[in-house]
Amino acid sequence: MTILIVGATGLLGRATALALLKDGQRVRVLVREPARQPQQVSALQQAGAELVAGDLTDPASLERACTGALRIFACAHSFLGRGRYTSAQVDHVGHSALIAAALSAGVHRFVYTSALGARENHPIDFFRTKHEIEEGLRDSHIPYTILRPSSFMEQHVHAFIGKPLLDKGFAVIFGPGRKRRNFVSVRDVAPFALTALRDDTLLGRTLDIGGPDNVSNRDVAAMYALRSRQGRAIHLPLGVAHVGGTLLRPLHEGVARLFDVAAVPDDEWDETFDPRALLAEFPREMTTVERFVDERVRDWRRSRVGRGR
Ligand SMILES: NC(=O)c1ccc[n+]([C@@H]2O[C@H](COP(=O)([O-])OP(=O)(O)OC[C@H]3O[C@@H](n4cnc5c(N)ncnc54)[C@H](OP(=O)(O)O)[C@@H]3O)[C@@H](O)[C@H]2O)c1
């Protein structure tokens, strides 16, 4: 049984592809530009993945990639895309084309990665698109599972806050940054993807997935600063995010979207998650933000020692 992964060079896609291969599954990965990420692509190939060239904006390539695949894991996105790769083209048109290609190729199961809180009237277009693709998949009659994870720690805790604080000594936070948010580690989301692709237990389910705690961006910056004994958060007024989003939109739609996200009033977008029902059904230990930050700061210390600092 071949499982096609669209987005295998990304955080969740790579973790899931490697776990499936370790489990002995046959995995095909659709990759946009293999030459751009030679190390990642060769790691996937060395682990046993079959590589197919393709692009969500190229429907013919999706048809080719789906041929002979029985299950699909869609975990690509273009939140930060622009030009040919706007979110509308990749996340909406591209994913609709992928569902159509899966249907005509007779794919038996489609696992789609949406996002926690995706809804019809979400203030951010990306989350409205996720909702529309969820609806399209349910209407397609392909047996499905929809995963709706909260914000990935690897990106929203580390890449956006922790890494700049460690590397440059400061992290930028718009507004007071007191809104509580849920963060989940990719390593805790991948096992749900594995289950959805391999077993029948999650068929027909739409599953919200989040980590064990809800903390604010301000708390995250403080955790890094405390452990590394350096760095601080710099708070910019929310108005800067409003203006930034508006000014940047004609230049870079994806970056403008980041500013738009920062400008959404806290009460228009609840980003918290209560993990109790999830953990009652799927008992497991999920990574806390504290533990995740401990690990990242430990890695940072080691890399400094390695560089003689
Ligand atoms: N990151 C989060 O905090 C978060 C939270 C909730 C849900 N999600 C969802 O979880 C999924 C995985 O997210 P992630 O953070 O792991 O993604 P990621 O690391 O940003 O990787 C995105 C993936 O999408 C691929 N991609 C982008 N445009 C494409 C195109 N036109 N054709 C084919 N592939 C394309 C990228 O390929 P290239 O290597 O060629 O760029 C890459 O493999 C996404 O659906 C995302 O919306 C993410």
Q: Which residues pair with residue 172 across a beta bridge?
A: 234
CA of 308 to the centre of ligand 1 (A): 35
With a cut of 90, say whether residue 305 has pLDDT above it: no
Tokens 């030459």 sit on residue: 35
Q: Which of 304, 60, 278, 16 is nearest to 52 (CA)?
A: 60
Instruction: Give the angle 192-197-203 at the CA atoms, nearest 5°.
Output: 85
Q: For the chain, give every domain's residue range.
A: 2-152+185-209, 169-177+213-301
Closest residue by CA, ligand 1 atom 20: 10
Closest residue by Cα to atom 24, ligand 1, is 76
Best CA proximity match to 77, nearest among 62, 95, 96, 61: 95
Beta pairing partners, 151: 183
Is pLDDT above 90 for 150?
Answer: yes
* CB of 183 shorter than 6 A to ligand 1: no
Give 91-135 pLDDT, tens digit per residue: 999 999 999 999 999 999 999 999 999 999 999 999 999 999 999
What pLDDT was estimated at residue 308?
Answer: 74
Where does residue 281 rank: exposed (0-12), middle (13-18), buried (19+ CB within 10 A)?
exposed
What homologous superfamily is domain 2-152+185-209 in, according to CATH? NAD(P)-binding Rossmann-like Domain (3.40.50.720)
3-state DSSP: the chain helix, strand, coil percent, rounded to 5?
A: 50, 20, 30
CA–centroid distance, 147 to ligand 1, in Å, is 14
Ligand 1: distance of its center to the CA of 21 in Å? 20
181 in Cβ contact with 117 (< 8 Å): no
- Beta-carbon count within 10 A of 70 CB: 16
Distance of alpha carbon 89 from alpha carbon 78, whole angstroms: 9
Please give the average per-residue pLDDT across 229-243, as a whole number: 94
Residue 197 has pLDDT above 80, yes or no: yes
pLDDT of residue 234: 97
- Determine the average pLDDT of the residues in 204-219: 98
Q: What is the mean pLDDT of residues 56-85?
A: 97
Mean pLDDT within 295-305: 94
CA 126 to ligand 1: nearest atom: 47
What is the pTM assigned to this prediction? 0.97
Mean pLDDT of the chain: 96
What pLDDT was estimated at residue 304? 87
Q: Whose CA is nearest to atom 47 of ligand 1?
A: 77
* pLDDT at residue 181 in the model: 98
* Ligand 1 atom closest to 189 (CA): 10
Mutate to test the pocket of ligand 1, among 77, 153, 289 (most ligand atoms within 8 A of CB): 77
Contact 63, 106 (CB under 8 A): no
